[in-house]
Amino acid sequence: MATKPQVYDASAIQALKGLEPVRRMPGMYTHTVHPLHIVQEAIDNAVDEALAGFGKKITVSVHKDGSVEVQDEGRGIPVDMHPVEKKPAVEVAFTMLHAGGKFSRSGDGVYHISGGLHGVGVAVSNALSKRCEVTVFRDGQKHTIAFEGGELKQKLKSEKAKEKKTGTIVRLWPDPKYFDSPNIPLNELEHLVRSKAYLLPGLTMILEVEGKQNKVWKYERGMEQYFEFMLQGRELVAPLFTGERFFDEKSLAGISDIENGEGASWAIGWVADGDIFADSHVNLIPTRSGGTHEAGFRSGIFEALASFMETRSLLPKGVKVIPDDLWQRACFTLSARIVRTQFHGQTKEKLTTRHAAKLLEMCVRDAFELWLNEHPEEGKKIVELAIEQAMARLSKGKKVERKKSSGIATLPGKLVDC
């Protein structure tokens, strides 16, 4: 039998400070299968700079010693003294949870639209690394600071930069004791790095793996080029439907909940066979588990097609197309931009922002319905594919029903009527 504690008073209540909660319970803050997510936090910060209009190139380097380096051409993390914490701002960003430049989402804020509002980011990356080195180029100076085990190891050191540039370099040595495997899955890292390039046309993303050939991605046509890569020569049933809609102050007149600058860009097509893919993102952050933005997108696309089918009387008698019939053969990539993002969990894999469903449905429904009516023959091909899926579903359902019916009618031998 467990021994009962002798004293239960204020001294028994622990208050974890700094990054200790992350080190004690890493699973609450990141994936612990491998360290990819703590590297992603550094990549996302670099991409946020590019999204805000600062920098055109990001380089991710994987070294043989297990470290990963992320270098951008942004403004450089601020290094001046924080007015409250009385420490350099870069030190605050890497050693304190809920510290960062993304909490103010006003139109004139540092980041009007960025990859998240949890504010744990690189502090978690630092906490779960054996060592973390940060180099900042800003105002003609080169600033360096280093951490070990999440704690300050080398105070901020500043010197005149040898070359005129701005940006931040973050190098992380993930600590194996926090992960099932210390190895970063290179195929997943490559997919992550490449996706940033097609989501932000004109941005150059470079992946360097020591001992291997460098890979460089730059998509001027963004999602359209990405689709060509993913389809690998397969043909679509109908031409790719691409579009974008972002709200400004004028278009927001009379609309509540939605904020200036919010909206989405997308590309969607249908294939008759083979594998399908669905990639959704919010502020360039991959949302592998979907969320409210993806739900709104799917709803808008289906409602537009349903209206097209009804208006043109395209459905056979006795056949009803449901959303699953349309999405069985659909491939899409979706990039939403939302000011006040909320996610399920710190890994940001599922968006929970309530108004995102309404936003995405408004963005895509009218646009797709217009496209269908301007391309009726192509629209009919999509409808035919959905009807095929519906009829296959109905046929399968009837087979299951007949089997159940047959089973009920057959009685055990000794119970059969004479």
Q: Per residue in 167-203, pLDDT tens?
A: 999 999 999 999 999 999 999 999 999 999 999 999 9
Task: Give the Cα separation of 203 and 43 in Å (integer).
Answer: 13
Mean pLDDT of 5-20: 65
pLDDT greater than 70 at residue 13: no
Q: Which residue has the higher pLDDT, 418 or 85?
A: 85
Three-class DSSP category at 288: coil
Residue 397 confidence (pLDDT): 66
Residue 147 confidence (pLDDT): 97
**And the tokens for 342?**
């909320």
Q: Which residue has the higher pLDDT, 104 or 244?
A: 244
Q: How confident is the model at residue 2 (pLDDT cuts 50, 70, 90)?
A: low
Residue 121 confidence (pLDDT): 80
pLDDT greater than 50 at residue 212: yes
Q: How many CB atoms lie within 10 A of CB 374?
A: 9
Three-class DSSP category at 341: coil
CATH 3.10.20.30 fits domain 223-401: no
What residues does CATH 3.30.565.10 cover in the chain?
23-217
Decide if 195 contacts 281 (C-beta within 8 A).
yes
Residue 348 confidence (pLDDT): 79
Three-class DSSP category at 109: coil
Amino acid found at 36: L
Residue 276 confidence (pLDDT): 95
Mean pLDDT of 60-74: 97
CATH number for the domain running over 23-217: 3.30.565.10
pLDDT greater than 50 at residue 357: yes
Residue 417 confidence (pLDDT): 39
Tens of pLDDT, residue by residue over 317-331, are 989 999 999 999 999
Mean pLDDT of 330-352: 89
Task: Give the Cα separation of 1 and 390 in Å (integer).
Answer: 60
Indicate the range of 10-19, 120-129, 359-368, 371-380 predicted with least confidence: 10-19
Tens of pLDDT, residue by residue over 138-172, are 999 999 999 999 999 999 999 999 999 999 999 99
Q: How confident is the model at residue 396 (pLDDT cuts 50, 70, 90)?
A: confident
Mean pLDDT of 3-9: 63
pLDDT greater than 60 at residue 109: no
